[in-house]
Amino acid sequence: MPIASHTSFMRRSIEVAKTNPRHPFGAVIVDHMSETIVAEGVNQTRRTPTQHGEMDAINNYSASGANNWKDLTLYTTAEPCAMCMSAILWSGVRRVVYGTSIPTLMQLGWKQIEIRATEVVARSHRPDCEVIASVLVGECDALFHMVAKARKGT
């Protein structure tokens, strides 16, 4: 998939994330054969604690009745946590593209499990899942910087 496509789909993830400005974790799932968005998700942890943006997108894709997981790429504003990355691997998604890293989230005060997405992949039954980091990192970081600033009251 061309880099231009990665930035286009990441921009959509950012727009989805903006629908929950207090927890701007947005995700889109793209069929990389047709380059079309097949599902979107945003952090819904106020509803249930495990409903991160990636989990919401995975659940929305599943609810659609579709199941062509091997042709999918998941775009997300932040590096998937260990729970989300594991769910991505179990689903069969072949590629993950993210913006903000777990270390950056931690520096900004977000609670995170300090296990990188690539480590989850390396220790899994799916070491072929591709992880692409730092796509539109500046724009994604800005989402989380704004929340951190608001929490500090500055």
Residues whose CB falls within 8 Å of the CB of residue 56, separated by 6 or more in sequence, listed in order: 27, 41, 42, 43, 44
Structural contact between residues 17 and 24, judged by C-beta atoms closer than 8 angstroms? yes
Reported confidence tier of residue 3, pLDDT bands at 50, 70, 90: low
Tell me how far apart the alpha carbons of residues 10 and 31 are, in angstroms, rounded to a whole number: 14
SS3 148: helix
Where do the DSSP E strands lie in the chain?
26-31, 36-42, 72-78, 95-100, 130-132
pTM, 2 dp: 0.95
Tell me how far apart the alpha carbons of residues 131 and 79 are, in angstroms, rounded to a whole number: 9
Tell me how far apart the alpha carbons of residues 18 and 123 are, in angstroms, rounded to a whole number: 33
Q: Residue 67: left (phi > 0), alpha (psi -120 to 50), or beta?
A: alpha
pLDDT on residue 152: 78
Q: How many CB atoms lie within 10 A of CB 76?
A: 30
Tens of pLDDT along 7-58?
Answer: 999 999 999 999 999 999 999 999 989 999 999 999 999 999 999 999 999 9
Tens of pLDDT along 56-85?
Answer: 999 999 999 999 999 999 999 999 999 999
Q: Which residues are designated catalytic?
A: 54
